[in-house]
Amino acid sequence: MTRIGFLALATALPGMALAESHMAEGGAALSYGERPFFLIDAMEEGALKDKLMSCQGQTPERTAFSIAHRGAPLMIPEHTKQSYVAGARQGAGIVECDVTFTADHELVCRHAQNDLATTTDILVTDLAGKCTTGFTPAGEGADAGAECRTSDLTLAEFRTLSPKMDASDASAATPEEFQGGTAPWRTDLYVAGAELMTHAESIALIDSLGADFTPELKAASVEMPHEGFSQEDYAQKMIDEYKDAGIDPSRVWAQSFDLDDIKYWIENEPEFGAQAVYLDDRYEAEDDDEGLIDPNDPSTFKPTMQELADLGLTYIAPPMWMLVTTDEAGGIVPSAYAEEAKAAGLEIITWTLERSGPLAEGGGWYFQSVSEAIDDDGDTYAMLDALAQDVGVTGVFSDWPATVTYYANCVGL
């Protein structure tokens, strides 16, 4: 049987399958838009392109294989109401809110506790004086910069900010100039009117859109415990907001880069811990080289995949490049890391497609292990196909979920 033939046999895992009612719910009609077709047109001729071309008339369906990474931040400010709606409209079955906290320990959706200087207008508001580190202009070889944390503000103050695309102008002489810097392959077209969200508000919105949830508990920029608010309090509060909203645990994939958070959920909230997702970042260990993972050398996997599985872990989520390498013919194939994870019975989710910008120069950080096989935007689907078919990932985060939704719908995932 050909590789494409195998695609018809693919089925969603029980834990990742959306309930039938959620497939039909949601006030927004699903739409692929133009981007999947732009990428397909750019592909090299072959069986995969032919298969994807054959699906141009299909009706979009929501799929849990497609995960909205911060919403749809390729074009819309991340972690905003509008970005989440766009991700759901593109058929993402799961939508991500990165979770951090304010000075009064309220949970809000931000990629990092200290990213307000680049993701909001705080530096040009009266709240600029509350930033951990105020604006410093560029000069004498140093870039312009500032550090503004959600923990610098109360929830009421946070709500007054206006979101923007995550960007800054390193050459800025003023806070106003620092607001720029949006990459040319992104856009500021959809910034006006974008709205920040609390974690609880994101739950209500995503539920209303017919999608499920993958909140990520972000590392605090402040020392923990913070004014009596411990790491365990933080991890528990995130779960409590789903319980308070009446969300079935089977619809929640709680994420963290901190293995201790995963252990906490497994031990204290087993229904939620059963689907907890360990975001594996051992590729950038800081303490010593023994913590660094070589994706093609299982002896560096400390803890090993089997040890992670023995903890009760079900899902592991490394970046895309950790899961693939190239063979002698230059094709994209599974890495030893991917093979070991599957052998231990771990399910794999990966990140992040559509985050690297144009792929003409090898795809950057997210494609670093297969850069020699990446030379244009059409290779977005070559990478996705290798992850889905050869690695066997359960889901893929994307900054523009329609790309993954189209593929999943076409091949029957």
Amino acid 290: pLDDT: 62
Q: Measured in Å, how far apart are the chain's first and last C-alpha atoms?
A: 18
Helix axes 231-244, 199-208, angle to 10 degrees: 30
- pLDDT (mean) for 237-266: 98
Average pLDDT over residues 247-259: 98
pLDDT digits (tens, 9 = 90+) for 50-104: 999 999 999 999 999 999 999 999 999 999 999 999 999 999 999 999 999 999 9
Cα dist from 301 to 308, 349, 351, whole Å:
10, 18, 19
**Residue of higher predicted confidence among 25 and 324:** 324
pLDDT above 70 as % of the chain = 92
Confidence of residue 25 (pLDDT cuts 50, 70, 90): very low
Q: How far apart are CA 133 and CA 138, in angstroms?
A: 15
Distance of alpha carbon 295 from its chain centroid, rounded?
Answer: 20
Angle between helices 259-268 and 231-244 (to 10 degrees): 50
Q: Which band of pLDDT confidence, cut at 50, 70 and 90, is reported for residue 316? A: very high
Rounded to whole angstroms, how far apart are CA atoms 253 and 351? Answer: 14
All structural domains of the chain: 3-97+197-411 (3.20.20.190), 114-191 (no CATH)
Q: In terms of Cα–Cα distance, which of 272, 264, 261, 343 is closest to 309?
A: 343
pLDDT average, residue stretch 131-144:
96
Q: Does the structure show a pLDDT above 80 at 289?
A: no
pLDDT tier for residue 12 given thresholds of 50, 70 and 90: very low
Percent of the chain with pLDDT over 90: 90
Q: Which residues contact 401 (CB under 8 A, 6 or more apart)?
A: 66, 67, 68, 69, 72, 87, 90, 91, 92
CA-nearest of 355, 331, 405 to 37 is 405
Please indicate, yes or no, whether the overall pTM of this predicted structure exceeds 0.75: yes
3-state SS string for the chain: CCHHHHHCCCCCCHHHCCCHHHHHCCCCCCCCCCHHHHHHHCCCCCHHHHHHHCCCCCCCCCEEEEEECCCCCCCCCCCEHHHHHHHHHCCEEEECCEEEECCCCCEEECCCCCCHHHHECHHHCHHHHHCCEEEECCECCECCEEECCHHHCCHHHHCCCCECCCCCCCCCCCHHHHCCCCCCCCCCCCCCCCCECEHHHHHHHHHHCCCEECCEECCCCCCCCECCECHHHHHHHHHHHHHHCCCCHHHECCEECCHHHHHHHHHHCHHHHCCCEEECCHHHCCCCHHHCCCCCCHHHCCCCHHHHHHCCCCEEECEHHHHEEECCCCCEEECHHHHHHHHCCCEEEEEEECCCCCCCCCCHHHHHHHHHHCCCCCHHHHHHHHHHHHHCCCEEEECCCHHHHHHHHHHCC
Averaged pLDDT of the chain: 93
pLDDT value of residue 287 = 55
pLDDT band, very low/low/confident/very high, at 288 (cuts 50, 70, 90): low
∠ CA 81-378-187, rounded to 5°: 35
Give CA–CA dist 92/85, Å, rounded.
10
What confidence tens digit (pLDDT) does each residue in 169-187 have?
A: 999 999 999 999 999 999 9
For 332-387, the pLDDT digits (tens) are 999 999 999 999 999 999 999 999 999 999 999 999 999 999 999 999 999 999 99
Two tokens at 193?
């009117």
